């Protein structure tokens, strides 16, 4: 059925690229090749992609972490307020935009593999239009953060501080939306070193900007939020200039086009489940911080759970880089009609993820007694963070494993399936377990994190089962059909 759909598009050039003989020839080449050589080549490709992408993920996430660290040294209340605001910003804004933008990993990645280069620019413009429009209602939600927090029963002082913080970050929403589009556009073309360079420059500037606004100009917590906005816009401008002027993008970016307004629905059909898939996962982590505000001693619990979450996300950025690499490899190979190469890429990244998880988990446990001092001078906070770190080590291992499998899923276009998995793992299992441990068994903040571990375990098992049962030849034909359909509409 898929082969028949692929042949149905009236474009002889594309049909010749994707006929039955094409797939058979590639499969024969893979079978005749030396497996060890193929694995070595694949490892080099993934490391070449993942290394810079890990750096990009860490550097871009460091903007939030640095701002929270500056706020944390102003006192426990500013730390709690900034942490709550950052979690709410992720919950209601950043995770949604990140998820919507992730659709480009499928669309641009498969188009690039199929050598339909002009489609990358068109798809990116569609994403920019859609995500920018989405920022408007999200900005309205951010404006009323204080009211929302108080209505949810959060501490009034923390709610007011969080509301002030997030209002200064509203312009950051629009920058973040454009940044996701630019990142995916370059990532799917394997142009990752320039992304790393621009992110590094931005992170270095962010430290100076935070210092100047928080201490030199005396803006306090507002300065930390404003620094996030300024730095994200700097990153957008740098990447935008690169895309415009670099010869590496001359075939994929040919300027703004009215064609981007055609068939926005096709983008939304993949972007919405992409957002749901990401949000179901990210929201559960942010809900842990919000729930911590309902525990006894909410300032302590919120501060420690926020530090734990920020630590988890920082480590998670390594897995995000690996997930981005495998998403690019899988989507490129499927678009190029090489299913066995895509399958090999998944096997290789799973082994890499296991090794990475063991190393990171060990380091997390070793630094448990000093990590809290980076965020706070309060001994109670520091000791509590040390107690949480072994749980973080386990969750980091599981999270890294599911992240690479989710990346492979995005490369295939399985966002709908993953959305269902994440719904079951986090909201049928994870959150109820967290409530049980924290509020019924009175384990406190550690109980909330134990619920997260339960969810990650279910998610990992489900993703492994799906990958083991995948017919990669069928996935290649689905990719072919998707690229042909998009090209036919243009």
pLDDT, residue 202, reads: 95
Confidence tier at 60 by pLDDT (50, 70, 90): confident
Q: State whether residue 179 is helix, strand or coil.
A: helix
State how far the Cα of 344 lies from the Cα of 356, in Å rounded to an integer: 19
Cα separation, 487 vs 335, whole angstroms: 13
Whether the Cβ atoms of residue 92 and residue 172 lie closer than 8 Å to each other: no
pLDDT surpasses 60 at 490: no
String of DSSP letters for 38-75: HHHHHHHHHHHHHHHHHHHHHHHHHHHHHHHHHHHTT-
Lowest mean pLDDT among 18-22, 146-150, 347-351: 18-22
| Per-residue model confidence (pLDDT) at position 438 | 87
Torsion sign, CA atoms 89, 90, 92, 96: positive
Cα dihedral: 257, 259, 260, 262 (round 10): 160
pLDDT at position 370: 83
pLDDT in tens, 419-476: 999 999 999 999 999 999 988 888 888 888 899 999 999 999 999 999 889 999 999 9
Confidence of residue 299 (pLDDT cuts 50, 70, 90): confident
What is the C-alpha separation between 192 and 187, in angstroms, rounded?
6
Which pLDDT score is estimated for 14? Answer: 40
Q: How confident is the model at residue 264 (pLDDT cuts 50, 70, 90)?
A: confident
For the chain, what is the mean pLDDT? 85
Nearest to 393 by CA among 458, 449, 320, 460: 449
pLDDT tops 80 at residue 197: yes
- Residue 296's pLDDT is what? 80
CA dist 478 to 18, 33, 107, 146, Å? 11, 25, 12, 46
Tokens 């090489």 found at: 338
Residues 6+ apart with CB under 8 A from 418: 273, 277, 406, 409, 410, 463
Cite the DSSP H helix spans in 212-263: 221-245
CA 225 to CA 265: how far, in whole Å?
34
481: pLDDT strictly greater than 60: yes
Three-class SS of residue 473? helix
Q: Count CA atoms within 13 Å of residue 339 on its CB side.
A: 19
Q: How does pLDDT run across 333-383, given as a tens digit for each residue?
A: 999 989 999 999 999 999 999 998 899 889 988 888 888 887 777 788 888
Cα separations in angstroms, 222 against 6, 156, 168, 242, 356: 54, 18, 6, 31, 37
Which pTM was predicted?
A: 0.82
What percentage of the chain reaches a pLDDT higher than 70? 92
Domain boundaries, the chain: 34-489
Token pair belonging to 260: 């981007």
Which one, of 455, 446, 149, lies nearest residue 308 by Cα?
446
Average pLDDT of the residues in 9-35:
47
Q: What is the per-residue pLDDT for 33?
A: 53
Joined tokens for residue 272: 């919405």
Contact 115, 486 (CB under 8 A): no
What was the pLDDT predicted at 187? 94
């Amino acid at each position: 059925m898929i082969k028949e759909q692929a042949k149905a598009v009236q474009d002889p050039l594309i049909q010749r690229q994707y006929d039955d003989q094409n797939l058979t020839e590639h499969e024969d080449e893979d079978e005749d090749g030396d497996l060890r050589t193929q694995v070595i080549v694949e490892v080099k490709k993934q490391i070449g992609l993942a290394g810079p992408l890990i750096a990009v993920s860490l550097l871009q996430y460091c903007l939030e972490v640095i701002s929270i660290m500056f706020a944390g040294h102003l006192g426990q209340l500013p730390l709690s307020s900034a942490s709550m605001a950052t979690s709410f910003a992720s919950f209601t804004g950043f995770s949604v935009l990140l998820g919507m933008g992730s659709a480009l990993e499928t669309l641009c990645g498969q188009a690039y593999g199929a050598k339909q280069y002009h489609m990358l620019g068109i798809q990116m413009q569609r994403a920019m239009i859609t995500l920018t429009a989405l920022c408007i209602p999200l900005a309205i939600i951010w404006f009323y953060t204080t009211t929302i927090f108080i209505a949810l029963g959060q501490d009034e002082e923390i709610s007011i501080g969080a509301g002030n913080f997030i209002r200064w970050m509203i312009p950051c929403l629009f920058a973040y939306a454009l940044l996701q589009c630019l990142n995916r556009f370059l990532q799917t073309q394997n142009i990752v070193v320039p992304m790393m360079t621009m992110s590094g420059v931005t992170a270095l500037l962010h430290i100076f900007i935070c210092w100047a606004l928080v201490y030199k100009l005396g803006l306090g917590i507002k300065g930390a939020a404003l620094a996030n906005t300024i730095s994200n816009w700097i990153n957008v401008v740098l990447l935008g200039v690169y895309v415009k002027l670099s010869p590496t993008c001359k075939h994929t970016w040919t300027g703004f086009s009215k064609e981007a307004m055609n068939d926005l629905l096709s983008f939304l059909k993949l972007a919405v489940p992409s957002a749901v898939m990401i949000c179901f996962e990210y929201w559960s982590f942010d809900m842990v911080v919000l729930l911590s505000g309902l525990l006894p001693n909410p300032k302590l619990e919120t501060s420690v759970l926020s530090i734990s979450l920020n630590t988890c996300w920082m480590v998670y950025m390594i897995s995000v880089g690996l997930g981005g690499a495998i998403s690019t490899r899988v989507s490129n190979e499927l678009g190029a009609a090489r299913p066995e190469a895509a399958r090999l890429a998944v096997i290789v990244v799973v082994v890499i993820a296991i090794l990475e998880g063991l190393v990171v988990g060990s380091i997390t446990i070793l630094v448990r007694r000093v990590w809290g001092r980076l965020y706070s001078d309060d001994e109670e906070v520091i000791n509590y963070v040390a107690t949480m770190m072994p749980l973080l080590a386990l969750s980091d291992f599981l999270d890294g494993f599911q992240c690479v499998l989710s990346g492979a899923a995005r490369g295939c276009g399985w966002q709908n399936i993953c959305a269902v998995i994440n719904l079951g793992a986090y909201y049928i299992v994870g959150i109820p377990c967290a409530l049980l441990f924290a509020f019924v068994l009175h384990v406190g903040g550690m109980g909330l994190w134990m619920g997260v571990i339960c969810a990650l375990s279910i998610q990992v098992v489900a993703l492994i089962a799906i990958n083991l049962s995948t017919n990669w030849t069928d996935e290649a034909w689905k990719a072919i059909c998707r690229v042909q359909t998009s090209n036919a509409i243009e």
